[in-house]
Amino acid sequence: MIFQDRISLVTGASQGIGECIARELAGEGATVVLVDVQKAKLETVARAIVEAGGRADVYEADVTQSAHAAAVIAAVLKSRGRIDHLVNNAGITRDNLLLRMKEEEWDAVIGVNLKGVFNFTKAVIRSMISARYGRIVNLSSVVGLMGNAGQTNYAASKAGLIGFTKALARETASRNVTVNCVAPGYIATSMTTSLPEAVKKWFIDIIPMGRFGEPADVARAVRFLCSDDAAYITGQVINVNGGMYM
């Protein structure tokens, strides 16, 4: 197990890609710290991890609130002693054409997808620098690279994550803290399975591999970036999109 005795915190861990990432890291021996606003779902994920022989802690928190992030990080550092991996996965969509987009739709997406990353990373970074070890992985998106009509808020948040990642990677590299992005394409989750069939077909037609990805495809990329095999990789964007954007 490559993460034996490591502590991995995953935001947005109650379902979908976040849940899969948490299970992947736990399967490699990490104690996973599950963070989300949906506590009941988090507890279900935690039970499944424990039943499979893993270790999991649950923290209910709103990533948009800096006080929540600081409280979670402080509690984990007190109970577990350190945090080795931070996976900023929490994300939402509020799709609309810009002409019709409400300010609250813009603010909600930027708040969760971008400010949430700032909040949790700022709260944890001092402990990683002091320990001279850390792996931060931010979940961006193919949409942050290529854009998508009706998602100016989402695209802006995910493109912003790439700039955030590259800037922070330069700040922390000398302290052995790596910062990278994983940019999924269209992955088979509740967010994509609810799309109309005509829309799904259109996307599949422009994906060279001819299918949506699976959450496990993303989770394995995150696992690699958290591992010692990726010790000399920082400030990078790993695309997991079936060739949709090259």
Q: Tell me the average pLDDT across 186-210.
A: 86
* pLDDT at position 195: 76
Q: Tokens in use for 98?
A: 């810009």
* pLDDT at position 199: 81
Flag whether pLDDT at 125 surpasses 80. Answer: yes
Flag whether pLDDT at 192 surpasses 90. Answer: no
**Residue 163 buriedness (CB in 10 A; 0-12 / 13-18 / 19+):** exposed
CATH class of 7-185+223-237: alpha beta
Q: Is 154 a catalytic residue?
A: yes
pLDDT tens track for 43-77: 999 999 999 999 999 999 999 999 999 999 999 99
Flag whether pLDDT at 113 surpasses 90. Answer: yes
Q: Tell me the average pLDDT across 131-146.
A: 98
Q: Which of 59, 133, 154, 186 is catalytic?
A: 154
pLDDT tens track for 2-19: 999 999 999 999 999 999
**Phi, psi of 8, deg, nearest 5:** -120, 120
* pLDDT at position 131: 98
Q: At what angle do helices 103-110 and 152-172 cross, to 10 degrees?
A: 30
Instruction: Please state, rounded to an integer, the average pLDDT across all residues of the chain.
Output: 96
Q: Tell me the average pLDDT across 157-177.
A: 98
